[in-house]
Structure 1
């Protein structure tokens, strides 16, 4: 019945997907992120759900979606409203599709998953199955930036939750994710002293020079064999080539395999950035570990078995994998909730101009999500 219901609404699913993709919603574009949230809030409200808006002053608002008759929801579905693309991207390459694939900014990561979650619930309502009263949905606005502003919300709303279903998209093989490396984000600000580099260089203290020392030391913390990586990915500083730089900044991304590595890595980064190499420069380090590693355990193994059983009922044999990137699954797994990630539709090339969605995977993954809600509501 679900398959028939959803096949009849495939055009509606693609219409909603087109509407969402054609809204620019990069993490730092609040107006666009909120517009995506408003579209989805209205759609869920039309199904009888309550939508609580967790308002943010500088970032997009987060949404908490629960049915008014829900009693102690035990299933948490998490998705995100933001993408990585700048304002103007949707206009320059709007939503399009052919017989096999759909294209556009965020079509795969993760606007198709947002459509999937809405129609999965709609199919349960249509079938008269009240398991939708056992779920809570969080749609946050900053997942692509590490969920820095939504992590406390996710932790708070996870109280009493037994299962976390993360609707990040799946790869072309359809594999689920049961393990992710942890990560962190730091910002290093260096202050020096400006001077004319030709007339009075001795009066200057180069913030860029100091930052260069720190970059080498930070990159030296990388240990590929242990799964530890430190990357200074963005640097800025200075004013002109003949002025000794008074200011310099660096954005630092870190990845690790274990909680112990996270503690040690943060300690080492703070130590490196605590003392200046060039006398007369000062350093300020901000940030920290944002996501603990998501480690496969007995709870997630049990949930994986359930997902695999439900997928097999639909004719799909699913396997799982561990990946280097992070998601909100790191957050729920870290507080002991059984978590499965990558439940969204298949596709690829996320965060690039070549991003695509496999259209034929949209309805099967919607059915799988609905069936999981039914199954887990009885656990």
Structure 2
């Protein structure tokens, strides 16, 4: 059962679900408001408009709210990070986090406005992640309505740039997550209702190949073919993939200047993904050794590691997944977990040593496409699940 201390009023599964059901019409209206705001990752003003809306909503629920500038990254300003805090009577500090940005350009909200059809909501960002961040706000309201404050501190952190790897907000989110007892990521659930219990880490890599130019018809033997070395590198890199664990993708290859010149240079960019930190690091070391052992005479290869995101491993989520399944059963449904190759801000939070569970928003699908949808019937159960999980964590 969802137990409470003597100082905290009852917040049973039935009570939490009843409040979540009552709030569904409000959720639908507010989701329409949020989807109507263009908030692509590079639209700082749009993201800040979403942030201002969320800040006002959370302030009305009794949270103290701060808006943090993220500064300028590579000459570009990004939106602010919104951090809302509410003190309770207990000791455990719990973080709920979501992102306010979408992948869609300005003007998309007007071209594809929010609509509902056959129990689903549609619109840019309706699932990823406006539906999720709104579920977090509603879970907080459910707890307020139930009179529950048995946590030490309930924190909501809303970030502006998750869809492009969080270049401006990752450090701030890690700082907010430091020292919390548990963190719940509000990315929406998988299409079948699964929460996310593991995510691959990802490392971006670059190869710069240097050879020697020569006339391709008159004296090709005097050249050192950088394109040939690049082609062999692509094949060797992709051969490192291990089904179900490691993937390697060389997504960009460029070489040469003219068809009648032996290419003197080639450049390759790609990524490595793996569920385990050890497997990710091992694959990167193999690529580095391969780059140092060029197969074409006269060619040198420089290897560089670029952006890096650590994996969210199943060990990071196990305890919270067990608790979430127990709460779900009390609410009358079964909950399963899925692993995915995509990354989220949960990867960064888990790297701080914080227990994390991901995919705790409502059920949605077709993210990043014109068909993106959210299952409205799933909203009350997922909001109640979030609220119930906060109670379970707070009670130890």
| TM norm. shorter chain > 0.5 | yes
Query: In structure 2, what is the equivalent of residue 163 of structure 1?
Result: 182
1:261 aligns with 2:285: no
The aligned counterpart of 2:239 is 220
SS of residue matched to 1:357: strand
Deviation at 1:112, TM superposition (A): 0.4
- Cα deviation for residue 20 of structure 1 reads 2.0
Q: Residue 287 of structure 1: CA displacement?
A: 0.9
Alignment match, 1:101? 120
1:123 CA drift (Å): 2.0
- Correspondence for 2:357: 340
CA separation of 1:246 and 1:335: change in aligned 2, threshold 3 A: same
In 2, the alpha carbon distance for the partners of 1:269 and 1:89 equals 41
Inter-partner Cα distance in structure 2 for 1:11 and 1:244: 66
What is the CA deviation profile of residues 348-377 of structure 1, one whole-angstrom value per residue up to 9, with x for unaligned ones? Answer: 122222221101111211111112212211
Query: For each residue in 1:19-56, what CA deviation from the matched residue of structure 2 results, as whole angstroms up to 9, or x when unmatched?
Result: 22233333333333333222222222232322241423
Contact kept? 1:206, 1:246, Cα under 8 Å: yes
Hey, what's the Cα distance between the residues in 2 that align with 1:192 and 1:228?
Answer: 30
Query: Structure 2 unaligned runs (5+)?
Result: 1-14
Alpha-carbon distance in structure 2 between the residues aligned to 1:250 and 1:335: 32
> Does the 8 A contact of 2:90 with 2:149 survive in 1?
no
C-alpha distance in 1, partners of 2:254/2:33?
Answer: 37
Name the counterpart of 1:368. 385
CA–CA distance in structure 1, aligned partners of residues 184 and 261 of structure 2: 53
SS at match of 2:196: strand
Q: After the TM superposition, which of the residue ranges 125-134 and 306-315 deviates more from structure 2? A: 125-134
Q: Which structure: larger Rg? A: 2
Question: What TM-score, normalized by structure 1, do the two folds share?
Answer: 0.83
- Shift of residue 186, structure 1, vs aligned partner: 3.1
Paired residues in the alignment total 376
The TM-score with structure 2 as length reference comes to 0.80
Partner of 1:46: 60
What CA RMSD, in Å, does the superposition of the two structures yield over aligned residues? 3.4
Q: What's the CA shift for 1:289?
A: 3.1
Do structure 1's residue 330 and structure 2's residue 347 form an aligned pair? yes
Counterpart among 211, 229, 235 of residue 247 in structure 2 = 229
| Comparing 319-328 and 212-221, the one that deviates more | 212-221
Query: Which of 14, 22, 27 lines up with 2:41 in the alignment?
Result: 27
C-alpha distance in structure 2 between counterparts of 1:30 and 1:193, whole Å:
45
1:76-95 correspondence runs (5 A): 76-95=95-114
**Comparing 211-220 with 280-289, which one deviates more in the overlay?**
280-289
CA positional deviation for 1:285: 2.9
CA distance in 2, matches of 1:210, 1:338: 44
Compare 276-285 and 49-58 and name the one that shifted more: 276-285
SS in 1 for 2:338: strand
**CA 1:47–1:354: 2 relative to 1, 3 Å:** same
Indicate if the aligned counterparts of 2:88 and 2:150 stay in contact, CA closer than 8 A: no
- For 2:220 and 2:45, locate their aligned partners in 1 and report how far apart those are by CA, in whole Å: 46
Summarize the Cα distance change of 1:186–1:84 in structure 2 as closer, same or farther, 3 Å threshold.
farther
Deviations 1:205-260 (A, max 9, x none): 987666545433332322226x2111123456788888998986544222113221
**1:117 to partner: Cα distance:** 0.8
What residue ranges of structure 1 are gaps of 5+ in the alignment? none
| Structure 1 residues 285 and 69, CA gap change in structure 2 (3 angstroms) | same
- Alignment partners' CA distance in 2, 1:167 and 1:9: 18
User: Taking structure 1 as reference, are residues 153 and 196 closer, same or farther at Cα in structure 2, changes over 3 Å only?
Assistant: farther
Structure 1 residue 14 and structure 2 residue 28: aligned? yes
